[in-house]
Amino acid sequence: MNDDPPNPALLPGGLIDLLPPEAEAEAEAVYAVMAVFASHGYQRVKPPLLEFEEGLLTGSGAAMAEQTFRLMDPESRRMMGLRADMTPQVARIAATRLAGSPRPLRLSYAGQCLRVHASQLAPDRQVAQAGIELIGPDNPAADAEMVLLAAEALEAVGLTRVSFDLTVPPLGPALLDEAGISGPARTKLTHALDRKDAADVAALGGSAAGLLTELLLAAGPVGPALRVLEGARLGAASEALCQRLAAMVGLIQAQSAGLRLTLDPLEFRGFRYHTGICVTVFAPGHYEELGRGGRYISGEQEPATGLTLYPDAMLRARPKPAPRPLVFVPLGSREGPALREAGYATVAALEAVPDSLAEARRLGCSHIVQDGAAVPLPE
């Protein structure tokens, strides 16, 4: 039996200390992203970390119930939840405090969320978010705006080679409805579609087997996948979803022809509150999602769409920036303000030291003030 006291640096699984220089880099990335959102008219809101359970977990928030930490408020003696995602909170604000504001309502947000469970692909349980919600319009232009603004925000932090993976979660169920597939057969077929098992889809799909298999194999660049959908014989509900998707893609490509778009027509990926076209953002060579969003219902019945970026994942995916030069300013030197104005970070001596060069090295500085200027430390 080990009686040694626990290491005070030990943290619960999925939680980390963000240290220099990463903590500063994250703050700068969030600032850059939020500046892009603000430049397009998105006004920032700041929901609380905790809310009463019945408010946090209603509407779109119900989908996050299993990921929500709960505790009792010692003042009101009511149960509270610690947010696992900020979108339901923004939806609540839109439906209550901003119910009388003109639509379309453009809101942005940034903050930390905490989730009960991590996953192998997403091991962090504390998740930073920075996102936008567009509440009121229900049209392809609103869907396209989410992708275009996310691309601009990612470019602002140095991520120019990104991919937006489009999905249509309602399409699969609509196709199964139109084919009259229900009961246990539908359950098995849904599982086969989720596993991307073309053989089982062909065996279980009945009259829809050919179309479902074709759509399953069409996943990839958006152009060929859209042509498969355009050539398919679809029912009214499926046709409407595909026309909406094609219109959204056309608007995106008209404004950003080089943006990489992929399409997986039968992918179910998304939070359970998503009701229409969804998007997941990736960077080449990185398995982590950089962001995720899609269409949902805000409040009781108001259409909305949004997209959330994950600053921690963004920083891991972008090229490492050159560190900001750090200048040691000996006691009595007055160059600090001018150096900071020029883009340097300064470390001012608080007392006289016998060897300024040695002190600058000890503090990890890259430069030192000599003769009124910042000069690199000698090798």
Count Cβ atoms below 10 Å from residue 141 Cβ, excluding itself: 12
Q: Was domain 16-161+279-321 assigned CATH 3.60.20.40?
A: no
For residues 50 and 56, give the distance between their C-alpha atoms in angstroms, rounded to a whole number: 8
Residues written for the chain: 379
Give the model's pLDDT for residue 51: 95
Model confidence at 2, pLDDT cuts 50, 70, 90, reads low
pLDDT tens-digit map of 205-245: 998 999 999 999 999 999 999 999 999 889 999 999 999 99
Q: Is the dihedral of CA 319, 322, 324, 328 positive or negative?
A: positive
Structure tokens at 310: 């994950």
Q: Which of 345, 311, 343, 344 is nearest to 156 (CA)?
A: 311
Please give the pLDDT value at position 255. Answer: 97
Q: How far apart are CA 149 and CA 40, in angstroms?
A: 8
pLDDT in tens, 23-64: 999 999 999 999 999 999 999 999 999 999 988 988 778 888
User: Residue 108 forms beta bridges with which residues?
Assistant: 44, 132
Domain boundaries, the chain: 16-161+279-321, 170-268, 326-376
Position 13: which residue type? G
